[in-house]
Structure 1
């Protein structure tokens, strides 16, 4: 039985790595971001718009967090999400934080979502600022405090395969 969580800012590569880990180790994969996107779609909002609405409506984050925690209670699972590691900290075996400089993350997001760079930058900055405020206000969590993580990786100069090799080595040494 293993439970792994990956957190990090938008465009850092956390979902990509969660997919690779799930496939390599034959684990289930749960994405908190997918739930947030579903809620946004149900309400006819963009992710950024829902992030702003969530500043005054804690029920949005609470629903995503509840479902994330439920998923983390399953055996043999990898979970990814911005706040996921803090939410499931008490029941997971390994915590990974993946990051990259803002401009690189924005380039990745623009490419992934097929949006202009300026739009990706504006939306990413808005999203990160509102998330940071919500997490501090609702949970007292400083998303810049990475002390709970077992492994922190900056993907600025390493590719997807190299990032996974680092994660794999750390997991094999730890689990």
Structure 2
């Protein structure tokens, strides 16, 4: 769990926000800014994956290989994320959950579901200093999509239930944050006519 709490929250809200997108989409940057402004914690799927690796005494690469060969790792990861979503969804406190499936796993507990993306060339440039190579990123995206479909009947290309979809290559980091901040600031539950229903995920 990551916390970037500010002494005085810049965004006065109790919304439960999910942020999702492929590698290099800018999710971590946005979540850190939102966490600071909202004065709340956020949990990322990457954090939980590292916790699972530590719990099992294996490296991240070893755990990734295990996930590719068995559904047990993905289900353990997603089960933890879903439990966190249930806990915070009932708390009526601001919270941010970030993972590829965060919008699905949080379901109707989430108040605002965000999908971030950018052209592949831009995302590859953004992750150029990471250990993961271009080929590995592409393989991981295809592999994960196939596993989500096989395990949960989730089509990750179905983004119809997201409240905001942002191409983060079109704006600066601050611009993306301001777009999301405006959506949160302008949200009024009294005039909300209803979000799209999120298909239930049976883990």
With normalisation by structure 2, the TM-score equals: 0.76
Contact 2:35 2:42 in 1 (8 A): yes
Aligned pairs, number: 168
Are residues 1:94 and 2:109 paired?
no
Choose the corresponding residue for 2:35, options 22, 26, 29: 22
Larger Rg: 2
How far did 1:37 drift? 3.5
Do structure 1's residue 12 and structure 2's residue 55 form an aligned pair?
Answer: no
Query: Gaps (5+ residues) in structure 2?
Result: 1-13, 189-203
C-alpha deviations, 1:63-122, integer Å up to 9, x for none? 1112212222223210111111111122111100010111111111113x2x4xxx6211
> Which stretch of structure 1 is more off in the superposition, 68-77 or 139-148?
68-77
Taking structure 1 as the reference length, what is the TM-score of the superposition? 0.87
The alpha carbon displacement at 1:28 in A equals 1.1
**Local SS of the residue matching 1:90:** helix
Aligned to 1:168: 181
CA-atom RMSD in angstroms: 1.7
Equivalent residue runs for 1:1-175 within 5 Å: 1-40=14-53, 42-46=57-61, 50-72=63-85, 73-74=87-88, 75-111=93-129, 113=130, 115=131, 120-175=133-188
8 Å contact 2:50–2:60 — kept in the other structure?
no
How far did 1:54 drift?
1.8
Q: CA deviation at 1:149?
A: 0.3
